Structure formats: C-alpha cells, structure tokens
Amino acid sequence: MRHGASLAAVSLPQLYQLVCEKYRHLFLLLYWPLFGLAFHFFENIFAPHRWHIMHCALDDAIPFCEWFVIPYVFWFAYLILMHLYTGLYDPAAFRRMMYFIIFTYSFALALFLVFPTAQLLRPAVFPRDNVLTRFMAMFYRLDTSTNVCPSLHVVGSMAVTFAAWDSPRFRDRGWKIAFGVTTALICASTVFLKQHSAVDVAAGLLLSAAGWRLVYGGGLERAASVRDRARLRRGDMAKAAR
C-alpha cells in the first residue's frame, strides 16, 4: 500500500522527468534516423559527375566465399545488441559509443559527398549454387555498390568492439578476444563477399582509429579542458577590466 501510495503521489510530469533523467542518454539514438535519411539521399538521389572506383591488387587475390554471409549479416544484430545492452545497463559506455558513431559516420557521409566511391568487384556468376549464394544474389539486387569507402561495416564493428572493451561487463580477456575475433570476421566478410575493396576496409580502420583517439583516447576531454580554461581566462579578464 505504501509503495502504491508513493507512486500515486508522483504526477505525470514528475514521472516523465524521472524517466528522462534516467534514460536521457537514449536521445542520442535520434542520430540514426538522421543518418538513415542522409544515407538514403546518397544511395538513391545523389548523382555525382564521377564515381571513384575502389580497387587494389589484393582484391584480385581474395576469392569469393559465401560462408562469410554469416558474419556479414550478424553485423546488424551485433550493433543492435550492443546498443541495447549499453543503453539499458551502461549509459557511460553507450554515450561514448554513440559519440564514436556520430563522429565516424558523419565523417563518412562528408566523404561520400566530396569523394563519391563505387566498386566493380561483384562476380557476374557465382562459383557455386547454394542457399548462401542465392541469398547474396538477392542482397546484391537490394544493395548498391556505391558509397563504399570507408566501409561502414568495418566502422560499425569497431564501434561495438570499442564499446565492449569500454564496458566493465566485457573487460575480461575472454570477452575481449571474442569481440576482437567477431569484428575481424565481419571486416573480412566485406572483401570475401565482394561488397568492398580492401581499400575500403583500410579506410574504415583508419577512420575508426581517429574516432577512438577522439572519444576513448582523451580527445574530447582535452577539448573540454581547453574550452574550460579559455572560459576561465575570459572571466578573469572581465573581472580585471572591472
């Protein structure tokens, strides 16, 4: 009865405020629909005068292997599950993961605008006929081969790995190895399924390294410290002027 009375005593505006304070970090998820709209524009509306074709000698040495469909498709669950776990149980890790995603994915969108890329690596005929190759044939029809550099599959996988290593729940060595291996398989899947050039993978890793440096390596903290010191100096100068 006492518990019910305490709940009844909380007004709807107060309840809304309590919920917002506890889960306000989830508002960062609003970035995803904004990114989706921008990506849709680049995939379906944007028509550059020239596509830069991504290719290197390593691509020709990598055979098509349909078994990599499994880690490639698992990427979607990989991202969603880490969002769910950190969003509900580790808000600090969730915020840092979202800051990483916002920086890296926004930078990728800017690259798509100033340096439009495409690839011509997909096989005209699959070497085998099975359920996995048939799935890839369908996937090729749905997915364009443009806006490929950097690989967002690579960057998204690194976002999950960095979030896992950042969260106390996954800091044991076994978890670190599991996330590292999973991410490596997802990155490899992009080239074995001919969805990306090795150049796209390298670019995704470089962008992820920059994002890690900014978010997890103290870049944001240093920027905030510089901003705070500048604010203090302005305050001291204003006091001296008075």
Distances (CA, A) of 65 to 44, 123, 140: 28, 11, 15
Is position 9 within any domain?
A: no
Number of helices (H), then strands (E), in the chain: 11, 2
Burial 22-38 (b: 16+ CB within 10 A, else e): eeebbebeeeeeebeeb
Contacts 24+ apart (CB under 8 A), 78-81: 78/156, 78/157, 78/160, 78/182, 78/186, 79/156, 79/159, 79/160
Q: In whole angstroms, what is the distance from residue 230 CA to residue 189 CA?
A: 47
The DSSP 8-state label assigned to residue 150 in this structure reads S
Closest to 66 measured CA to CA, from 241, 193, 239, 218 = 193
Is position 3 within any domain?
A: no
Per-residue pLDDT of the chain (242 residues; tens, 9 = 90+): 455 545 455 566 655 565 667 788 999 999 999 999 999 999 999 999 999 999 999 999 999 999 999 999 999 999 999 999 999 999 999 999 999 999 999 999 999 999 999 999 999 999 999 999 999 999 999 999 999 999 999 999 999 999 999 999 998 999 999 999 999 999 999 999 999 999 999 999 999 999 999 999 976 666 555 555 555 566 555 555 55
Is position 160 within any domain?
A: yes
Q: Structural domain tally of the chain?
A: 1
Q: How many CB atoms lie within 10 A of CB 225?
A: 11
Give the ranges where 24-130 is alpha helix by DSSP (H).
Answer: 31-44, 57-61, 69-89, 91-114
Burial class of residue 112, CB neighbours in 10 A (0-12, 13-18, 19+)? buried
Is position 139 within any domain?
A: yes
> What H or E segment, with its residue span, contains residue 52?
strand 52-53
- State the residue range of the domain holding 206: 25-241
Is position 210 within any domain?
A: yes
Residue 53, beta-bridge partner list: 118
Distances (CA, A) of 209 to 10, 100, 114, 169, 206: 46, 10, 21, 23, 5
